[in-house]
Amino acid sequence: MSGDPSAREEAGRRLQEMGEVAVPALIEAKGRSNPLEVRKWAIAVLEAMNKKVPGEAVQTKDGALLAEVLRAYGKARDLDALGAVFAFANSDRTPIREASREAIAQFGDAALPKLRETYTNLKNAPAPETWGAAELERELFRLMDHARLRDLYTLFDEALAKAKSEPEAAVSQLDQVFARAPTFERRGEAVPIYVQYAQALAPSDPARALDYYRKAERLAPGGTERDRISSAITWLEAHRLAGRGLVDRAALMRAIELDPENAYAKADLARLDEESQSRSRRLHWFAASAAAVILLATAALLFLRRKVERHAS
């Protein structure tokens, strides 16, 4: 920021004309890492915009702007704003909730007293003294998520309970859970339910089966479990192509590579090999037959030619 008072005044006037979209930058400008002169200027401009205190700065109908304001307070590590930032840590609006939690993390150990206070209020018990800011944040946010998504946990448990007796209803409820909370913490428990439902659908409705296999693949952690699901998807896609007369041998081999126990892919590959060998045998027979016919025709022509020659002589 220029030391020229008139330049600072002009910059402040233009920022005020921009309106609340300038607030995040001004909040960062008044952070303690900046020179005192800059900080005073930023505070004065915010005051002129009626955005000096955090409670005023977060008053906006623009969700994206609110998220940027919260992140700005985190970057500035403005302890006076900590309460306002915490107020959005369990917001139903995902971008705002994530921005609040990112900002809280940037405060580091400076947020410990507020973290402990909030944890105690939620848990009705103090947090372990050995926990630092990172541990407190992780557990506190987990508790907040559980409280906010309480109805989804109930729906999820109901889906698990009816997975065997009412699989269609179970996957429908799981779909509702993940539509609202794609990163639901117990998502791994839903994977085998989606897989079993996809397996049941595959013979009669392969297109829907693929949809549920892909849902399971998105939810599954890495490793063998995900590879098995990817193998099933690869096989089913190749199997559907084969039904339309398009052979994808490489896909079947890929399916077996992902899951050496994929019996369906093995069976399809063996059938392709048998058909290939059968075609080869038929071609060999046709070739041999054609050669025999040619030899017979040649012999007949030679016989006739000699007979004609003898008759002529």
Q: Tabulate helix, strand, coil % of the chain (nearest 5).
A: 80, 0, 20
Rounded Cα distance, 301 and 200, in Å: 65
Mean pLDDT for 167-186 is 94
Q: How confident is the model at residue 298 (pLDDT cuts 50, 70, 90)?
A: low
Rounded Cα distance, 95 and 66, in Å: 9
Whether pLDDT at 196 is above 90:
yes
Listed range (60-64, 204-208, 295-299) with the worst mean pLDDT: 295-299
- Listed residue (31, 22, 129, 24) closest to 79, CA to CA: 31
pLDDT tens by residue, 95-126: 999 999 999 999 999 999 999 999 999 999 99
Query: Cα-atom radius of gyration of the chain, to the nearest Å?
Result: 36
Q: What angle do CA 61, 32, 56 make, to 5 degrees?
A: 25
Mean pLDDT for 124-153 is 93
Q: How confident is the model at residue 284 (pLDDT cuts 50, 70, 90)?
A: very low
- Listed residue (103, 99, 109) closest to 134, CA to CA: 109
pLDDT tens by residue, 47-99: 999 999 999 999 999 999 999 999 999 999 999 999 999 999 999 999 999 99
Mean pLDDT for 286-300 is 53
